[in-house]
Amino acid sequence: MINTNKITFITSAADIHGFVESDLPQVVFAGKSNVGKSSVINSLANQKNLARVGKTPGKTIHVNYFDAEGKELWVDLPGYGYAKVSFEEKKRWARLIEGYFAREQNIALGVLIVDARHEPGELDQNMLEYFRETGTPVAIVANKCDKLKKSELDEARTRVATTLGVGEESVLLYSAEKRMGRDELFRLICTFEKNK
């Protein structure tokens, strides 16, 4: 198991030249802007400020790398789907993501984060395709479940699974704020660590 005290920020890549070269397995966090990617990473790492949590979405388009005790890299991809982003910024996002998937040979697990309250959209489907094309297993994390009533959780899981065309067992009900689902996701992530 990864020691969460030893998860540290490495670097932030603004373009493909900034990507980290490493033979460690990479766990990749992706999702729409503001769904809570950074918050999920912080909850997994038991740290408050490891990944920066934003009040305003879509401001920075960077690939952020974290070192998980020298056993894995965790990769926080820039969020997509923020309405106020210019066409130029969208192109920059696409180049960065395409570059990442084209170059990276060590993607071990995709963690696709969606908002449990909403139906996933076309951009989430596209993101899922990036992982599928590289043959990467994907865990779907339905975050912000604390905003739902208990009675709405099953329905939320079904909605997310159906829309994305995955089995319900691949959808994890999650709350970064309440740490719901945290231990299960952490255990899954740890199964990909190097030298197991």
- Cα 25 to Cα 47: distance, rounded to the nearest angstrom: 21
| Binding residue for ligand GTP, selected from 28, 37, 108, 124, defined by CB under 6 A | 37
Instruction: Verify binding: residue 34, ligand GTP, rule CB under 6 A.
Output: yes
CA angle 70, 132, 165 (to 5 degrees): 120
CA distances from 116 to 11, 74, 119, 190 (A): 30, 23, 8, 24
CB 96 within 8 A of CB 89: no
Which lies closer to Mg ion via its Cβ, residue 30 or residue 172? 30
**Residue 173 touches which of ligand GTP, Mg ion, none (CB < 5 to 8 A by kind)?**
none
- Cα 5 to Cα 21: distance, rounded to the nearest angstrom: 23
| Binding residue for ligand GTP, selected from 24, 104, 138, 144, defined by CB under 6 A | 144
* Binding piece for ligand GTP, criterion CB under 6 A, among 27-35, 103-111, 123-131, 158-166: 27-35
Which lies closer to ligand GTP via its Cβ, residue 157 or residue 193? 157
Q: What character string, x for contact with ligand GTP (CB under 6 A) and - otherwise, covers 75-114?
A: ----x-----------------------------------
Collect all residues with Cβ–Cβ distance below 8 Å to 103 and sequence separation of at least 6: 16, 19
Instruction: Verify binding: residue 38, Mg ion, rule CB under 5 A.
Output: yes
Collect all residues with Cβ–Cβ distance below 8 Å to 190 and sequence separation of at least 6: 1, 2
- Site for Mg ion, rule CB under 5 A: 37-38
